[in-house]
Structure 1
Amino acid sequence: MKKMMLVGTTTAGKTTLVQALMGEELRYQKTQAMTYNKQFLDTPGEFIENRRFYSALMSSSVDYDAIAVLHDCSKRQNLIPPGFATMFNKEVIGIMTKVDSEKANREFSRKMLTAAKVSRIFEISSYTGEGMDELKAWLES
């Protein structure tokens, strides 16, 4: 199974996604520091929101097979720089989160993740399970 580092803004759903993938109870938990487990590295949202942390993201990515850039499609805001994925020497995927939200704008999220230069995009809801099977299959491939 692929080891993956998750990167995204504060409240993008990184921790919730890890909880869902690990079969844990979904509960909000603000990630204050990098959180490691056997398969995932959950990074604080501030690491993508502040360029001074980019070197920490690059050096931490070394031990992972892939990087996931998450975008909350319920927000019409983007803090992911164009071309962001190109700074990693790994496969970088995009994960559009909260697709079950009334405010979901998949087109906007897709545009932002495409501009970041991710290799492919998964559309998921950690709560309803939408898109999770496809993501899990990719992780197991």
Structure 2
Amino acid sequence: MMKKIIFIGKTGSGKTTLCQKLHGENIEYKKTQAIVPFEYAIDTPGEYIENRFYYKALIVSAADADFIGLVHDCTEEYNYFPPSFGSVFPKPVIGIITKIDLAKSKEDILLSEKYLKLAGADRIFPISISLEEGMKELKDYLQGTI
């Protein structure tokens, strides 16, 4: 049985797309305006990590999750996660690097990995929804099979 994950990341990083893919839904863009619960995931607005005022909402919403998923778009040069951000959650924290197919170089992916590790991610999952890369590994992890 798949456990529940909360996706936290900047606006446009791919959190909603991850939720849709995880649940076998059609991929369609829609701006997340509020916290949206799915069966196996919790989608959060990007503004919640971009504005410290909303950190409390992320912490409270994470109570319903088994895993914390910090999401970073490797085409984004900035890091919105404070150092050790994951330590506020008493749950396993993983990092998800999205849009790896759009990276200009391997260094972009490595920079995302560095940001996620500095934020407290223990394990990193590089993902490309359009190339169908990485989702099987993420699902297997959430099901406890790896």
- TM-score of the superposed pair, with normalisation by structure 2: 0.93
Please show how residues 94-113 of structure 1 align to structure 2 within 5 Å: 94-103=95-104, 105-113=108-116
Contact 1:75 1:103 in 2 (8 A): no
**Aligned partner of 1:8: which letter?**
G
Equivalent residue number for residue 91 of structure 2 = 90
1:114 equivalent among 112, 117, 123:
117
Contact 1:71 1:97 in 2 (8 A): yes
Equivalents in 1 of 2:23, 2:88: separation in Å?
28
- Structure 1 segments of 4+ aligned residues over 4 angstroms from their partners: none
Instruction: Report sequence identity in percent.
Output: 48
1:135 equivalent among 128, 132, 138:
138
Contact 2:23 2:40 in 1 (8 A): no
**Aligned partner of 1:47: which letter?**
Y
List runs of 5+ in structure 2 lacking aligned partners.
none
RMSD: 1.0
Equivalent residue number for residue 17 of structure 1 = 18
Deviations 1:22-65 (A, max 9, x none): 11111111101011121111000000001111111111111110
List runs of 5+ in structure 1 lacking aligned partners.
none
**Corresponding pairs, count:** 141
Equivalents in 2 of 1:37, 1:131: separation in Å?
20
Equivalents in 2 of 1:39, 1:75: separation in Å?
26
Equivalents in 2 of 1:131, 1:37: separation in Å?
20
- TM-score of the superposed pair, with normalisation by structure 1: 0.96
Please show how residues 17-96 of structure 1 align to structure 2 within 5 Å: 17-96=18-97
